[in-house]
């Protein structure tokens, strides 16, 4: 088994229907949810509406390639992103699943100044989580 990397752009903490985000961003999400929906495989409920756009890169690609791919999709909506992030929670969410049976080195998390500048100028937070899987 190899390491897996999943990267998404996520908007939460808004009261309007998720279709509102799709309309103003002119993008189709990978996934949406409503406040009160059950979180998959748990008894927990969502605390707010959500809109998620997942990177289309293969899961073995490095984090920065996933983020660059998302930036390419998000860049045309930069002005809208700035408005969204001033009102709602906007973040790039990175989940890195490290396999104990994988002999590859740990995946590198490298963010160049163009990535950091895009995130900062558009008010997008960055969340990176590591999980160890057997």
7, 83, 99, 104 from 134: Cα distances, Å: 21, 42, 6, 15
Q: What is the pLDDT of residue 1?
A: 54
Residues in the chain with pLDDT < 70? 1, 102-105
pLDDT for 56 equals 96
pLDDT score of 58: 93
Model confidence, pTM:
0.92
pLDDT tens digits, residue range 2-13? 778 999 999 999
**pLDDT value at residue 6:** 95
Tokens matching residue 131: 């999980």
Looking at residue 42, its pLDDT comes to: 87
Distances (CA, A) of 2 to 5, 37, 81, 100, 102: 10, 32, 34, 9, 5
What is the pLDDT at residue 102?
66
């Amino acid at each position: 088994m190899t390491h897996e990397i999943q990267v998404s752009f996520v908007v939460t903490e808004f009261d309007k229907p998720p279709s509102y985000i799709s309309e103003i961003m002119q993008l189709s999400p990978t996934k949406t949810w409503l406040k009160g929906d059950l979180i998959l495989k748990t008894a927990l409920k969502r605390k707010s509406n959500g809109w998620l756009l997942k990177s289309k890169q293969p899961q073995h690609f490095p984090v920065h390639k996933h983020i660059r791919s998302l930036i390419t999709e998000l860049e045309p909506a930069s002005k809208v992103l700035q408005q969204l992030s001033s009102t709602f929670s906007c973040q790039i969410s990175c989940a890195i699943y490290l396999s104990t049976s994988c002999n590859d080195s740990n995946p590198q998390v490298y963010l160049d100044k163009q990535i950091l500048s895009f995130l900062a100028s558009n008010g997008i937070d960055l969340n990176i989580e590591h999980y160890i899987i057997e």
